[in-house]
């Protein structure tokens, strides 16, 4: 297959630690959807080209609803990224998914409602999304986790809420009743946009605490609780970084194309001959090979 380039998108904690994957060149990118969250660092991990992006920007100034998801994915695609390994902090909805574990989810329930969720505002494009995470990349992460010192859960449903407030107790109990394992705020529309851009995308979720369905120990006051959660973020971040380090060369060794990389082949329902020239030009980095 063509040359692999791995995009790494970091969430809470990991964004500040991305530099641990190696120094590199800072690249500012303009997109039709504005600037991405921040400059993208081009570097190498085990000889494999990578593009590193902090989802919430420098200083973590962008909340989950204001992250420029379209610009982020477009920028990575324009730089040649073919596969995306993302991470993000989550709350656990299951007793067995403990803080500091890692989870490689396989399903999503999207409850967001304030975020532009498609590149295709000017035509009808319907990508298949029954399996929202790339199975090839998920298998790579599982393989990279062989013998890993921290427990890695394979599979689980991630509920993506709008935020930025956390769940009410009733909402948390509802999400548990749905059979979900994780609650977070950032995987949508990121995963949808990656599919539209024909990028393979998988997530390493970092449980930092049990969501509010589980009462906190009475011995923990608010200050100590926050301290404990931040400690969990730091530990889970280091675990995620190590898993990403192990996964990157395995991604580069993939020798077969993935269906994610032709997601648009049967998804364009509009009459392409009727698309306005400016729309064709704007979308060419994504749609170019389907426009003739």
Per the annotation, where are the binding residues for phosphate?
12, 55-56, 186
For residue range 157-196, what is the model confidence (pLDDT) as tens digits?
999 999 999 999 999 999 999 999 999 999 999 999 999 9
Q: How many Å is the Cα radius of gyration of the chain? A: 19
Length of the chain: 292
Burial of 238 (C-beta count, 10 Å sphere; 0-12/13-18/19+): middle
Q: Give the CA diameter of the chain.
A: 67
Which residue in this structure is represented by tokens 């298949």? 128
Domains in the chain and their CATH numbers? 6-290 (3.40.50.1580)
Q: Report the phi/psi class of residue 98: left, alpha or beta, with left for phi > 0 and alpha for psi in -120 to 50.
A: beta
Least confident of 39-43, 76-80, 223-227: 223-227
Global pTM value: 0.95
Would you say the C-alpha torsion 15, 17, 20, 23 has a positive or negative sign?
positive
Reported as a single tens digit per residue, the pLDDT across 250-285 is: 999 998 999 999 999 999 999 999 999 999 999 999
106 is catalytic: no
271 is catalytic: no
pLDDT in tens, 75-89: 999 999 999 999 999
Annotated binding site for substrate: 185, 209-211
């Amino acid at each position: 297959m063509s040359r692999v380039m791995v995009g790494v998108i970091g969430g809470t904690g990991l964004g500040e630690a991305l530099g641990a994957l190696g120094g590199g060149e800072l690249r500012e990118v303009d997109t039709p959807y504005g600037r991405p969250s921040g400059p993208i660092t081009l570097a190498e991990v085990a000889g494999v080209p990578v593009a590193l992006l902090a989802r919430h920007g420098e200083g973590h100034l962008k909340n989950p609803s204001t992250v420029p998801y379209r610009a982020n994915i477009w920028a990575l695609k324009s730089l040649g990224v073919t596969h995306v390994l993302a991470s993000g902090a989550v709350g656990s909805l299951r007793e067995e998914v403990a803080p500091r574990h890692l989870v490689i989810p396989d399903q999503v329930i999207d409850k967001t409602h304030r975020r532009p969720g498609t590149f295709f505002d000017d035509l009808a494009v319907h990508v298949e999304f029954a399996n929202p995470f790339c199975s090839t990349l998920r298998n790579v992460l599982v393989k990279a986790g062989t013998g890993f010192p921290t427990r890695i859960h394979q599979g689980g449903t991630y509920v993506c809420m709008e935020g930025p407030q956390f769940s009410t107790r009733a909402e948390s109990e509802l999400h548990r009743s749905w059979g979900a394992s994780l609650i977070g705020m950032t995987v949508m529309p990121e995963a949808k946009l990656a599919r539209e851009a024909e990028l393979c995308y998988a997530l390493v979720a970092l449980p930092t605490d049990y969501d509010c369905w589980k009462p906190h120990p009475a011995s923990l006051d608010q200050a100590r609780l926050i301290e404990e959660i931040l400690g969990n973020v730091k530990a889970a971040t280091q675990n995620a970084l190590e898993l990403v380090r192990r996964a990157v060369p395995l991604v580069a060794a993939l020798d077969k194309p993935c269906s994610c990389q032709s997601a648009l082949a049967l998804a364009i329902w509009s009459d392409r001959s009727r698309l306005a020239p400016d729309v064709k030009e704007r979308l060419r980095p994504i749609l170019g090979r389907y426009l003739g």
